[in-house]
Amino acid sequence: MENIIEVKNLTHYYGKRVIHENLSFSVPRGSIFGLLGKNGVGKTTLIKILMGFLRPVSGRCRVLGEDSHNLSSVARSKIGLLFEGHLAYEFMSIAQIEKFYSAYYPSWNRDLYYGLVDRLDLPYDHKIKNMSCGQRSQVVLGLIFAQEPDLMILDDYSMGLDAGYRRLFLEYLSEYVKDGTKTVFVTSHIVQDLENLVNEVMFLDRGGEVLQTSLDEFMTGFRQFRFKRNGSANTLHRDDVIRNLDITGDNASVFSFRPMAEVGAHLAEMGIETAGLEQVPMTLEDAFIGLTGKY
Amino acid sequence: MLSSILYKEWLKVRLFWGVALMLNIGVFVYLFVDLRHLFTIEHAEMIWYQAFKIGTLHYAYMKYLLVITGVIIGAAQFTPEMIGHRFRLSLHLPVRPNSMVLCCVLAGLLGVAVIGMLDVFMLYAIIARFFPHEGAKSALLTALPWLFSGLVAYLGTALTAMEPRLSRKFVYLAIAGGFLWLFYQGNDYETYNRALWKPALISLLFIPSVILPVYRYRNRTS
Amino acid sequence: MVPRLARYALIVLAITVMSVYLPFLYHKVSEKKVGKTQLFFSPVIKKFVFREMVGEGHKFVTQDESGNNYDRMTFETLIPFVYYKNMELWGKLPMTIDGRTFDKQTIKENRQVFELKPRMIADRSPRIQIFPLLESKPGVTRLRFPEDVFRLTDRMEFINVDTNTVDQDLTDKFTNAVKQAGFVFPARLTAGRVSILKPFDEGFFVVDAKGYTYHVKRVRGKPVVVKTPIPSDLGIRNIKVMENKKKEIYGMLLTDKGDIHLITYDDYRLIKLPIEDYNPDTMDLKLLINPLYRTAVYSDDHTIHAVAMDSRYRPISRYQRVMFSGRTTMADTVFKALFPFWIKTTDKTSGYLRFDVIWNGRPALIGIALSLFAGIAVMYARKFPIRKYWPDLAIIMFTGIYGLISVSVIEPER
């Protein structure tokens, strides 16, 4: 399968702080790729690099087969880009911004834009700077959909959106990717939204640790086991088997990619009593926190 | 595509362009009132003597007018792009970044030049109302470097605004400011008649130079 | 490629700006007070004497051309026609030179000073070609400006200052008068002294299209036009009208060849001054007339020349010297070594700005070599491969310190 985004050995620092180190991943055509990670792990930085707004210290990024630092106009016209915070030209009105952008994209779909924007029930001469965050996001997403891009890059689309707008957006997005030829690269801090959307995920962690997998594989392979803790649980620590742990009151939880029997045996080996060891079902958000920790 | 960029630039600057236009017109209205007042309180032959022999420039307060205009338009054009890094929106447009920026800059230059042309017209008309046409022509030749400095002020503002690094902004500011001052070396009339073409020609280099901050903007590492 | 060119565009701009202001600042910092040498011909000892500033503060020498030093008082008594007021104070008037006796009144009446600086030459300063033609016989003691001015087009056109419109009557009157005298429009040169702070008015000297010089005056409101016998093939570049009470000389006439002629009241007869090595574009010229001698003194920044003449303008003695202020100083040498060139914007010999590149010649090689060295060091420290960034070094090679500063501050993009 053809890769729409390809990152090889990407390394980037801010000063001495490592943001990415030898990061490699790829996004195949038709996939909906979720980039997950807590604040400050470099999600936005990665997108800036992918879109050529930042020069990485080393490594190679290709988007639509072109060097991300020298994307041609043709390539850029195929990429719908949502900037963090729903950046838009604030000085334009609803109608003006549509008129402006329509000139650049050959297959501009005006109806898609107004389909979204009309729901705002605002006059077309309403200025973007006078809009709420949610209203603005609607306009920006409308513009991106109208562009009918092959690749959508959405940097934290959910920021500042209430539940209704988020739901609406997800509906549009599902519609957009329905035929399987469009690729989406998305980051969000509301992890649960992605659960029904993405089919590939990548977890970024501080210091450049990465886990890339398909959503199904992750949701089935990554497990949480709970047991009643007693004194012995104090020696519990992370290792190859125990990816993470969480102790709350009487309960202890361990997170692992291994099956229950193996984890139980491993705990026993560590001398930990595992009374009532059971697997607990997780949402994507639970799993995300399980993997990366609460803080 | 070109018209679309012009459209965007126009939306951005129209209010400030209007303000600058009113400022320019206001100054020339004042010039008219001032001269009319002068001719009512003083003998015309003395005023003409001062203008032609002594070299009094009765229109001297328009000296920095187009510089102010250039800065206003430059700031109006590029501040909204720079706040919150909205410049990325423009850079993501499916146009070559260099062409896009040159287009913006030429649009701004046009905006300044239109006001400059209007200044030329107003200056000539007002001076010719009170002095022989030789005086009006001389006023134009004298004001020409001031008008040119308006274009340099605009380009300097654009250059400085687009530059991502603060320390480098000061460098551009120093170059633009220093160059600007080259158009203010004379105190008498028509002192630039023979040499204006030299700084004017070199100042054209400010136009391609705006590519550099854009390149630097796109190639930041932080 | 394009960003590289953009960078070089900025570097050229930076170099331009620096080559104007850095030398300017250098001069501001290093410049010392220098007075020009004052040179006179002494009627007492028949030698040139001068007073020259030779150091900081008020260090002067007062010498004659043979190198004899004089104290201040003696020096002044050597040129009594200049310091006649002091002579009177010291009780030395009247005095006798060569058997002739001079009192204060005679000296005062027979002193005249004429001056021509490069800036005063018509083609070296802008001048709006609009002039007032004063009434020469106003009937009152003070001159006043008329309510009209004239321009010379294909006629002598008068414009009323109050209405800013052409005064047809006056225009016809003067146009006819000058045409009757033989004047052919358009005029090549209009020369007069526009002022009311002068003892009397001599009107204008106008050179017509054929090269003939006409003297145009307004007497009791009527045109008085004289076609002068000044030759039409003289190549007149400038006429400086003097209006001196003595009414001996109308003014000084400069030709294209650089000759100076005096236009006399003796039917406009010309007297050519016997000056040598005079360059009107760079030198100030002064003609000092006293009861015994006429001295033309002319100098640029470097050398001062003088010729002393008798009352019939025959040369008696010549002298020239390099002034102390014209000598090359340490600061000048450092300047030339530091800056390979500089842009001269203003020019004290002209009313026009210049923006000329002045090359400092060979000493600049020192500065260039040091700058190159520093440039390579900077590149090395910043890990820019010289092989790739050689154009930066080429820039330094031609522009020295300006290039060094420019390419280091506006460093290459990696």
**Residues A167-209: pLDDT tens digits?**
888 888 888 888 888 999 998 777 887 888 888 888 887 766 6
Determine the average pLDDT of the residues in C181-208.
95
Q: How confident is the model at residue C345 (pLDDT cuts 50, 70, 90)?
A: very high
Based on the fold, state whether residues A156 and A235 are members of the same structural domain.
no
CB A184 within 8 A of CB A172: no
Number of domains in chain A: 2
Q: Does B125 touch chain C (CB under 8 A)?
A: no
Q: What pLDDT sits at residue A1?
A: 55
Domain C-terminal end among A177, A196, A218 = A218
Helix axes B2-41, B65-82, angle to 10 degrees: 150
Determine the average pLDDT of the residues in A63-83.
91
C106-137 pLDDT, tens per residue? 999 899 999 999 999 999 999 999 999 999 98
C350-401 pLDDT, tens per residue? 999 999 999 999 999 999 999 999 999 999 999 888 888 899 999 999 999 9
> Residue B190 sits in which domain range?
2-218
B164, B170, B172, B177 alpha-carbon torsion, rounded to 10°: 150
Q: Which residues of B touch A87 (CB under 8 A)?
A: 84-86, 88-89
Q: What pLDDT sits at residue A232?
A: 60
SS3 label, residue B84 = helix
Based on the fold, state whether residues A177 and A226 are members of the same structural domain.
no
pLDDT at A227 over 90: no
Residues in B whose CB is inside 8 Å of some CB of A read: 1, 3-4, 7-8, 11-12, 80, 84-86, 88-89, 91-96, 217-222
- CA atoms of B142 and C135, how far apart (whole Å): 32
Based on the fold, state whether residues A255 and A126 are members of the same structural domain.
no
CB B104 within 8 A of CB B91: no
The CA distances from residue C111 to A295, C104, C240, in Å, are: 100, 11, 18
Q: What pLDDT sits at residue A116?
A: 87
CB B219 within 8 A of CB B184: no
- CA atoms of C84 and C87, how far apart (whole Å): 5
pLDDT at A60 over 60: yes
For residue A256, list its beta bridge partners.
A223
- CA atoms of C292 and C127, how far apart (whole Å): 37
Residue C57 is classified by DSSP as T
Q: Under an 8 A CB cutoff, do B80 and A81 touch?
A: no
C99 alpha carbon, distance to own chain's centre:
38
> What share of chain B has pLDDT > 70, as a percent?
100
Alpha carbons within 13 angstroms on the beta-carbon side of residue C374 total 17
Please name the member of B51, B191, B211 whose beta carbon is closest to the beta carbon of C351.
B191
Q: Does C17 touch chain B (CB under 8 A)?
A: yes
Q: Which of B157, B185, B196 is nearest to B77 (CA)?
A: B157
> What share of chain A has pLDDT > 90, as a percent?
28
For residue A252, list its beta bridge partners.
A227, A247
User: Torsions phi, psi of C38, nearest 5?
Assistant: -100, 125
pLDDT at C87 over 70: yes
Q: Which of C243, C245, C264 is nearest to C253 (CA)?
A: C264
- Tokens found for residue C339: 């800056």
Q: Which residues of B touch C5 (CB under 8 A)?
A: 208, 211
Q: Which chains are adjacent to chain A, needing at least 3 Cβ pairs under 8 Å? A: B
> Residue A88 sits in which domain range?
3-218
Number of domains in chain B: 1
C326-338 pLDDT, tens per residue? 888 888 999 999 9
How many other CB atoms sit within 10 Å of the CB of residue C364? 21
Q: Does A67 touch chain B (CB under 8 A)?
A: no
Low-confidence winner among A204-218, C33-47, C390-404 (lowest mean pLDDT)? A204-218
- Tokens found for residue C154: 């294909």
Nearest CA in chain A to B217: A53
Q: What pLDDT sits at residue A233?
A: 58
- CA atoms of C288 and C307, how far apart (whole Å): 11
Position C204, amino acid: F
Q: Complex ipTM, two decimals?
A: 0.96
SS3 label, residue A69 = helix
For residue C166, list its beta bridge partners.
C159
Based on the fold, state whether residues A130 and A102 are members of the same structural domain.
yes
Q: Please report the residues numbered 62 through 121 in chain B whose beta carbons come closer than 8 angstroms to any beta carbon of chain C.
A: 98
CB C118 within 8 A of CB C108: no
Q: What pLDDT sits at residue A114?
A: 94
Exposure of C12 by Cβ count < 10 A (0-12 exposed, 13-18 middle, 19+ buried)?
middle
Domain C-terminal end among A218, A241, A274 = A218
Q: Does B156 touch chain C (CB under 8 A)?
A: no
Q: Under an 8 A CB cutoff, do C10 and B172 touch?
A: yes
**Residues near A53 by Cβ (< 8 Å), separated by ≥ 6?**
B85, B88, B91, B217, B218, B220
Q: Does B46 touch chain C (CB under 8 A)?
A: yes
pLDDT at B189 over 60: yes
Q: Under an 8 A CB cutoff, do B1 and A14 touch?
A: no
Look at chain B and count its residues: 222
- CA atoms of C344 and C353, how far apart (whole Å): 9
Alpha carbons within 13 angstroms on the beta-carbon side of residue C411 total 17
Position C200, amino acid: F
Based on the fold, state whether residues A143 and A26 are members of the same structural domain.
yes
Based on the fold, state whether residues A58 and A101 are members of the same structural domain.
yes
Higher pLDDT, B153 or A31: B153
Alpha carbons within 13 angstroms on the beta-carbon side of residue C368 total 17
pLDDT at B134 over 80: yes
CB C111 within 8 A of CB C248: no
Domain C-terminal end among A218, A240, A268 = A218
What CATH number is associated with residue A288?
A: 3.30.70.100
Q: Does A76 touch chain B (CB under 8 A)?
A: yes
